[in-house]
C-alpha cells in the first residue's frame, strides 16, 4: 500500500516545529514533509530526523514573504535573482537533511504582467533550478494549486503543469499531484493519476470540502489508494490536511495502512 508521510505544517501544529517530529514518529509515520526548513538550523532538523528514524520526503524552495501572503516567486519577472539564490539555499538544506526532492511554488501572478512574460519567467527559472538540482541528485517538482484557497495562483491545472514540463525539456522536472487541489479544480482524479503516474514522484492528500482528513468529504480515498497500489506507485503521499479536531483524533483513517 502507499507510504504516507506527515505534513508538519498542518499536522501537529499545536507543537513547536522541532517537537512535531517526535509526535509524527510516535503516531507511526516514517516520513515527514513541510513547507520550509529555512527558519531553523539544518543540523538540528537532521538530528530530529535521525533520532526518530524519519525520512525527509519533501520541502519547498524559498517562496518569498509567506507571512505577508506571497505563495512563491517562480513566475515573478522581478525576482529572478532571489529565486536563483533560493535554489542554492534549498540544495544546501536538502543535502543536509537527505531530502531527494523539492517543490517549486509558482506564486500568485503579479498584476499587470502579461501572461507570456509570466510563462517565460517561470520556464527560465525551472530550467535553471532543474539543472542545478540534478547536479545534487535532487528532483524538482511543480504543483498546481486551486484558486479557491489561493486566488490568483499561476499554476492551477494538471494540463498546464504537463505543458510546462514539456517546454522546459528537463528529465529532472516532475509533477507533484495534490489530490485535494485537483479535485477542486478539475476532478477526474483516477484517470489523471493513471495517465501521468510516470511523471508523479510525490502526491498529497486532503478531503474536499474543508481540506480535512480522508473520510470527511466527497473523495473516495479507499478506491484511490487501491488504484495507486495497483498501478505500482512507489512514492510517498503527504498528509497535508487540516485535522477536523486534532491530529491524533483524526488518524483513524490511516491506522489500517500502518498495520500492513
Q: How far apart are CA 258 and CA 2, in angstroms?
A: 10
Q: 14, 194, 218, 240: which is the annotated catalytic residue?
A: 240
Residue 143 known to be catalytic: yes
- Catalytic residue from among 33, 47, 143, 213: 143
How far apart, in whole angstroms, are the C-alpha atoms of residue 146 and residue 134? 28
Q: Furthest-apart CA pair in the chain: how many Å?
A: 52
What single string gives the DSSP state of each residue in 73-100? -TT-GGGHHHHHHHHHHHHHHHHHHT--
Angle at 121 between CA 137 and CA 235, to 5 degrees: 35
Long-range contacts of 82-91 (CB under 8 A, 24+ apart): 83/125, 83/128, 83/129, 84/125, 84/128, 86/61, 86/62, 87/61, 87/128, 87/129, 87/132, 87/133, 88/132, 89/38, 89/62, 90/59, 90/60, 90/61, 90/62, 90/133, 91/132, 91/133, 91/136, 91/138
Grid cell listed for 181: 487541489
Pick from 116, 99, 102, 123: nearest CA to 45:
99
d(CA 62, CA 90): 7
Q: Is 240 noted as a catalytic residue in this protein?
A: yes
Active-site residues: which are they? 143, 240
Amino acid at each position: 500500500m502507499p507510504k504516507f508521510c506527515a505534513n508538519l505544517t498542518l499536522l501537529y501544529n499545536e507543537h513547536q516545529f522541532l517537537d512535531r517530529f517526535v509526535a509524527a514518529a510516535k503516531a507511526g509515520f516514517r516520513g515527514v514533509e513541510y513547507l520550509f526548513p529555512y527558519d531553523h538550523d539544518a543540523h538540528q532538523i537532521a538530528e530530529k530526523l535521525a533520532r526518530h528514524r524519519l525520512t525527509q520526503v519533501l520541502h519547498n524552495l524559498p517562496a518569498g514573504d509567506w507571512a505577508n501572503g506571497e505563495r512563491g516567486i517562480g513566475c515573478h519577472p522581478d525576482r529572478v535573482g532571489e529565486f536563483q539564490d533560493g535554489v542554492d539555499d534549498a540544495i544546501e538544506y536538502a543535502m543536509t537533511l537527505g531530502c531527494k526532492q523539492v517543490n517549486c511554488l509558482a506564486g500568485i501572478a503579479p498584476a499587470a504582467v502579461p501572461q507570456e512574460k509570466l510563462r517565460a519567467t517561470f520556464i527560465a527559472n525551472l530550467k535553471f533550478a532543474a539543472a542545478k538540482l540534478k547536479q545534487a541528485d535532487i528532483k524538482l517538482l511543480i504543483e498546481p494549486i486551486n484558486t479557491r484557497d489561493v486566488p490568483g495562483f499561476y499554476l492551477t491545472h494538471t494540463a498546464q503543469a504537463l505543458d510546462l514540463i514539456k517546454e522546459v525539456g528537463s528529465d529532472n522536472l516532475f509533477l507533484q499531484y495534490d489530490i485535494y487541489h485537483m479535485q477542486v479544480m478539475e476532478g477526474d482524479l483516477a484517470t489523471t493519476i493513471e495517465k501521468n503516474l510516470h511523471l508523479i514522484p510525490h502526491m498529497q492528500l486532503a478531503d474536499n470540502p474543508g481540506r480535512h482528513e480522508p473520510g470527511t468529504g466527497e473523495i473516495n480515498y479507499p478506491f484511490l489508494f487501491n488504484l495507486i497500489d495497483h498501478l505500482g506507485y512507489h512514492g510517498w503521499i503527504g498528509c497535508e490536511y487540516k485535522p477536523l479536531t486534532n491530529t491524533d483524533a483524526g488518524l483513524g483513517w490511516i491506522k489500517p495502512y500502518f498495520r500492513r
